[in-house]
């Protein structure tokens, strides 16, 4: 198999913000030549597919400034640090955004949503056996929570109505799990 690895040579920090850091790396290509890679470094995130006892899925509508529109997505949030346990972050985000606490949480895997530009890894979880208390939204967080049947959400993914990748993947993984457990 051909060597495809690029080797780190040096780094220049461009920006160091609250959520991400932007860097410009020089790398050595497999052919020995040098190239520049600009990328964003991110602590990572979690996303949770909360399933109600009747099978409906809790979804959120939230304005996403980078795209200038409201997205329809599952609850999610960033890790507070690179060392934070993703499971604990998932429990926190589920409670803060929906008021739910899950009796059972199952790991659905990890996705790398934009590997050419950002090192963010999103850990996906399935939350079941939900009980509810008060939501604890961050001061800068505004969202609405809705419940929808899985079949409707799958149709919305397949038609392109749900555009958020973490939501698409979690919904389709959950549908696959249900179909293989019949």
Q: Would residue 161 show up in a list of annotated catalytic residues for this protein?
A: no
* Opening angle at CA 157, ends 59 and 115, nearest 5: 90
Q: Of these residues, 38, 141, 146, 152, which one is catalytic?
A: 141
The beta-strand segments (E) located in 18-80 are 20-28, 34-42, 45-50, 57-64, 69-73, 76-78
Residues with catalytic roles: 141
């Amino acid at each position: 198999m051909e060597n495809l690895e690029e080797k780190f040579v040096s780094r220049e920090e461009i920006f160091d913000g609250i959520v991400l850091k932007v860097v410009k790396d020089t790398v050595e290509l497999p052919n020995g030549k040098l190239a520049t890679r600009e990328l964003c470094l991110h602590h990572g995130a979690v996303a949770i597919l909360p399933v109600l006892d009747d099978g409906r899925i809790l979804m959120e509508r939230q304005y996403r400034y980078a795209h200038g529109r409201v997205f329809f997505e599952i609850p999610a949030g960033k890790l507070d640090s690179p060392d934070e346990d993703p499971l604990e972050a998932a429990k926190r985000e589920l409670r803060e955004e929906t008021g739910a606490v899950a009796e059972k949480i199952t790991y659905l895997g990890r996705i790398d949503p934009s590997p050419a530009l950002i090192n963010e890894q999103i850990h996906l979880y399935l939350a079941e056996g939900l009980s509810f208390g008060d939501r604890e939204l961050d001061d800068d967080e505004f969202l609405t929570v809705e419940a929808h049947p899985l079949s409707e959400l799958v149709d919305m993914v397949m038609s392109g109505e749900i555009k958020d990748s973490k939501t698409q993947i979690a919904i389709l993984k959950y549908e696959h799990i249900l179909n293989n457990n019949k």
